[in-house]
Structure 1
Amino acid sequence: MTVLVRPQALADFKPREFQMLIDGRWTNGAEGRIIERRSPAHGTVVSRYQAATGADVERAIQAARHAFDKGAWPRMKGAERSNILLKAADMIAARAEELAFLDSIESGKPISQARAELAGAVDIWRYAAALGRDLHGESYNTLGEGTLGVVLREAIGVISIITPWNFPFLIVSQKLPFALAAGCTTVVKPSELTSGSTLVLGEILMEAGVPSGVVNIVVGTGAEAGTPMTEHPDVDMVSFTGSTTIGKLTMANAARTLKKVSLELGGKNPQIIFPDANLDEFVDAAVFGAYFNAGECCNAGSRLIVHNSIAEEVVSRIAELSKKVRVGDPLDPGTQVGAIITPEHLAKIDNYVRNAAGDGADIVHGGAPLDLGLGQFMAPTILSGVKRDMAVAREEVFGPVLSVLTFDTIENAVDIANSIDYGLSAGVWSRDMDTCLQVGRGVRAGTVWMNTFMDGASELPFGGYRQSGLGRELGRHAVEDYTETKTLNIHMGPRTAWWMPR
């Protein structure tokens, strides 16, 4: 049986009240409506936000537009912007416990995981700050004696940044510092379920010296706040992380004014295991990959593609380790799997499992929601006997559910891995590096881990193939994504006339 950590009531807890940040000022929404957020683990109201309307979004976009067209930020030296971002990184580190606590109580993620995410975010801000000093164009002196070509790289303009609820601070940190390093101005909309840490980030950036209007933060639903951010003609680019369904809508909205779009969307990521792999390490990685962040992770290793000859042993060992996973109160440092974000999402996960069982899959472990007295939780679940055409094998469940499929040959494994619409990430396990490389080159995914899973670094690009998105975040070219290139074609000396007198 999975180890359960029952949530403790948040006694005498006072919800935190937040305003929106527009043009350097904290302000209420135009209509004064409030969004309340209840902790998914404790059932207590933990945050209250001002709900943005179209009028609020308009104010935020105009503030960003003015700050870009007339303000100092795009015209600063790269070193000046870099120093401000480095100061912000230090301030994020100083307030990391506060930020981790907000992410934990609003999203349901374990506090120990939230702390690790904050440490990773600090590193990203520092890395982006360094890239801001290295942003440069090109020159061409090989075009003949009379021509010099100079290619400039300029900030693209106003960026709409829309982030999801599952990694509230980490994902905004994969976007915002790179946009700022490039000299862009921004309107940020975090999920209305987990906006707290992003709003605290607004406090930090103002104190660090980011000028008014450069970072504006609004809170609201996708329909009321997100849609105008993707359609507005004064927005030059949209950077969105979320579901593939909403990503497609975002792209369609942006197409009306031909905005640049960066999309990080869903995944249904395979871990492929061969008989010669280190099973001890793999089993641990499989459990981690399936249950990390309660499976509410685009990178979750939700498909296990295992060689037929070891399938029974692998499934048995994963089930045994799953019994030791600690599920429950996110504020307990020993918890490994926290709460599910909303009751509706828990019901969706449960429905996937029920339908899979009805279609012939076997529930090896878990398989149902957990009643812990408070909040909503899902048991870590393993489904074996899954067929590649089942919904649970093809669609993003976004919960702690591992689907097990089997294969006989490398070609068969790669075919199964590529048989879905997604292509975000994958893992391959074998002591034979030729096998790993063959699979790595064959699988259509943005990241392929070899004998590990869900490792990352600020230096490594992240993004997907196919319906997992467009573009890449992180890595040395991340700042360049928020720029346009401009060619200066310089003529030197007398020009040959086109019209010649007769």
Structure 2
Amino acid sequence: MLDGWAERGSPLLIGGELVTCDRRFDTIDPATEEVLGPAADAMPGHLDRAIAAARRAFDESGWATDLTLRVRCLRQLQEALVRHGDELRDLTVREAGAPRFLTYGAQFDTPVSDLAWFARLAETYEWTRDLGRAAPMGMDSERRLLREPVGVVGAITPWNFPHQINLAKLGPALAAGNTVVLKPAPDTPWCAAALGRLLVEETDTPPGVVNIVTGRDHALGALLSADPRVDLVSFTGSTATGREVMRGAAETLKKVFLELGGKSAFIVLDDADLGKACSYAAFTGITHAGQGCAITSRLLVPRARHDEAVEITARTMAKLGARDPSDERTVCGPVISARQRDRIEGYLKLAAGEGGSFATGGHRSGRDKGFWIEPTLITGLTNRSRAAREEIFGPVLVMLPHDGDDDAVRLANDSPYGLSGAVHGGDPERARAVARRLRTGTVSVNGGIWYAADVPFGGYKQSGVGREMGVAGFEEYLETKAIAEGV
């Protein structure tokens, strides 16, 4: 499927055609800095054509009303992704720097299987609901509620989990009957372009239903957000960029879904198995080099056992290390780019200047090539420090002591974000009680996994607006129409 891309580059998908582009840019292996090959570098004119194609497909084709076709196309896409799984797994490791073990879960296999869940949901969903007869103002009326697709969806996605986030938007948006213009991050254009090729060559998806526009110019996302032909913008990325997306969408008052940043807390209660909890926090905190919005990056431990917790966590992080992502034993690979590596180093210098100490890490890996940061545990800071409050998006944990359950909850909630969290404790009911008090969209208790197709995902406060996945995520892509008929 990727034959020739190293020379010719990956194409755009516009109006059902794979479109080559004279302007191109290189996609890089973050582990080695090797150039994988060029990708199409779209210009505003390409985006304009893509939006026009999506508008026509929604307004003039039967896609929005043909449930059978939509379900068939989703299942065809899932089957095509499975057929090309080995090739796409390798691509994800090389382009995103994702540890190979993650491609058997959230980086590939799980989001691919999730497409089947959205296909089944579309088949069983209550598209029309009878509200029965009533006589408001003395007028007998039969009332019905209809759920209908929003229209054209502009989907803007990041680089950290390219397949998961691309498919988490495409799956429900298409199942609901919308058409889509996907603008992926410039760091992972091939993952998105491969999806486009499969849609064209191995599914019955009509022209214009899905359009994929890759490019380095971040202004493309702003243009997509502001375009009046777009009815909904679904964005995953930083909180700062999310604000710009919301501002751009405000002019036309279009619907906006935002899944934004996080600085999630991992709370260890004083009755927890400290060794197990801190080792697990170390593992989850540096998975995929910490490049996940829902990854717990603040570790809150009982003050009386702080030093012991530091020793356990630092030892685990150092043992795991930063390693070759193609090795199935690797947990922490490279960060995505030189820019991201430099940004993380800036936070490490800031943490040292704020009085923090590094129990392990605190620097680049000693490799000659690639974008590497050693797993880092920072101690000695308060929850008011920038390193404890701002999203670093790297393999960096900040450990903070707490003085009991109330103090742990206070520290966890003392954040502009509210995306995720974790609680570990010996008494399950006590741990659940703490979890219920956290102002976050998801919480793991004693290692529970919340990520699944049927579980809504999203945040409180500055972590976003709306929900992705689950029935709630599907309904983000629907409008509600009430019809009353006189009788």
Q: Structure 2 matches for 1:367-446, cutoff 5 A?
A: 367-446=362-441
Contact kept, 8 Å, 1:149 with 1:490, in 2: the verdict is yes
Determine whether 1:233 maps to 2:224. no
Deviation at 1:107, TM superposition (A): 1.6
Cα–Cα, structure 1 residues 16 and 95, in superposed 2: closer, same or farther, change >3 Å? farther
Aligned partners of 1:15 and 1:321: how far apart in 2?
Answer: 42
Contact kept, 8 Å, 2:267 with 2:301, in 1: the verdict is yes
Deviation at 1:14, TM superposition (A): 4.4
Aligned partners of 1:17 and 1:102: how far apart in 2?
Answer: 14
Aligned partners of 1:428 and 1:222: how far apart in 2?
Answer: 40
Aligned to 1:328: 323
Deviation at 1:281, TM superposition (A): 3.0
Q: Structure 2 matches for 1:277-292, cutoff 5 A?
A: 277-292=272-287
Which amino acid is the alignment partner of residue 71 of structure 1? Answer: S
Aligned to 1:54: 44
83-92 or 175-184, larger mean C-alpha shift: 83-92
Deviations 1:177-207 (A, max 9, x none): 1000000001001111101121111122222
Aligned partners of 2:62 and 2:113: how far apart in 1?
Answer: 26
- Does the residue aligned with 1:75 lie in a helix, a strand or coil? coil
Deviations 1:468-489 (A, max 9, x none): 0011011123221101011101
Which amino acid is the alignment partner of residue 271 of structure 2? Answer: D
Aligned to 2:85: 96
Aligned partners of 1:97 and 1:350: how far apart in 2?
Answer: 34
Determine whether 1:310 maps to 2:305. yes
Deviation at 1:20, TM superposition (A): 0.4
Deviations 1:310-361 (A, max 9, x none): 2221211111112220422222223221111111211111121122122211
Aligned partners of 1:453 and 1:350: how far apart in 2?
Answer: 32
Q: Pick one of 140, 147, 156 that aligns with 2:131.
A: 140
337-346 or 182-191, larger mean C-alpha shift: 337-346
Deviation at 1:42, TM superposition (A): 1.2
Aligned to 1:84: 73
Aligned partners of 2:41 and 2:317: how far apart in 1?
Answer: 40
Q: Pick one of 13, 28, 34 that aligns with 1:44.
A: 34
Aligned partners of 2:450 and 2:311: how far apart in 1?
Answer: 25
Determine whether 1:202 maps to 2:191. no
Which amino acid is the alignment partner of residue 144 of structure 2? Answer: V
Contact kept, 8 Å, 1:464 with 1:470, in 2: the verdict is yes
429-438 or 405-414, larger mean C-alpha shift: 429-438
- Does the residue aligned with 2:451 lie in a helix, a strand or coil? coil
Which amino acid is the alignment partner of residue 323 of structure 1? Answer: A
Q: Pick one of 92, 96, 100 that aligns with 1:107.
A: 96
Which 5+ residue runs of structure 2 have no aligned equivalent?
A: none
- Does the residue aligned with 2:394 lie in a helix, a strand or coil? coil
How many residues are matched? 477
Deviations 1:243-292 (A, max 9, x none): 00000000000001001000000000000101211334312320122101
Q: Pick one of 340, 359, 366 that aligns with 1:364.
A: 359
Aligned to 1:74: 64
Determine whether 1:150 maps to 2:144. yes
Aligned to 1:497: none
Contact kept, 8 Å, 2:442 with 2:450, in 1: the verdict is no
- Does the residue aligned with 2:325 lie in a helix, a strand or coil? coil
168-177 or 215-224, larger mean C-alpha shift: 215-224
Determine whether 1:162 maps to 2:156. yes
TM-score by length of 2: 0.95
Q: Pick one of 102, 119, 130 that aligns with 2:120.
A: 130
Which amino acid is the alignment partner of residue 93 of structure 2? Answer: S
Aligned partners of 2:450 and 2:189: how far apart in 1?
Answer: 26
Aligned partners of 1:57 and 1:442: how far apart in 2?
Answer: 44
Aligned to 2:24: 34
Cα–Cα, structure 1 residues 389 and 363, in superposed 2: closer, same or farther, change >3 Å? same
Contact kept, 8 Å, 2:263 with 2:390, in 1: the verdict is yes
Contact kept, 8 Å, 2:321 with 2:374, in 1: the verdict is no
Aligned to 1:458: 453
Deviations 1:435-484 (A, max 9, x none): 22322221110001111165411111100001000110111232211010
Which amino acid is the alignment partner of residue 102 of structure 2? Answer: Q
Deviation at 1:15, TM superposition (A): 5.8
Aligned to 1:260: 255
Aligned partners of 2:453 and 2:54: how far apart in 1?
Answer: 27
Which amino acid is the alignment partner of residue 205 of structure 2? Answer: V
Aligned partners of 1:454 and 1:398: how far apart in 2?
Answer: 21
Contact kept, 8 Å, 2:261 with 2:391, in 1: the verdict is yes
Aligned partners of 1:358 and 1:453: how far apart in 2?
Answer: 36
Which amino acid is the alignment partner of residue 118 of structure 1? Answer: F
Identity among equivalent positions (%) equals 36
- Does the residue aligned with 1:191 lie in a helix, a strand or coil? coil
Aligned to 1:175: 169
Structure with greater Cα Rg:
1
- Does the residue aligned with 2:296 lie in a helix, a strand or coil? coil
Aligned partners of 2:313 and 2:48: how far apart in 1?
Answer: 51
Contact kept, 8 Å, 1:160 with 1:237, in 2: the verdict is yes
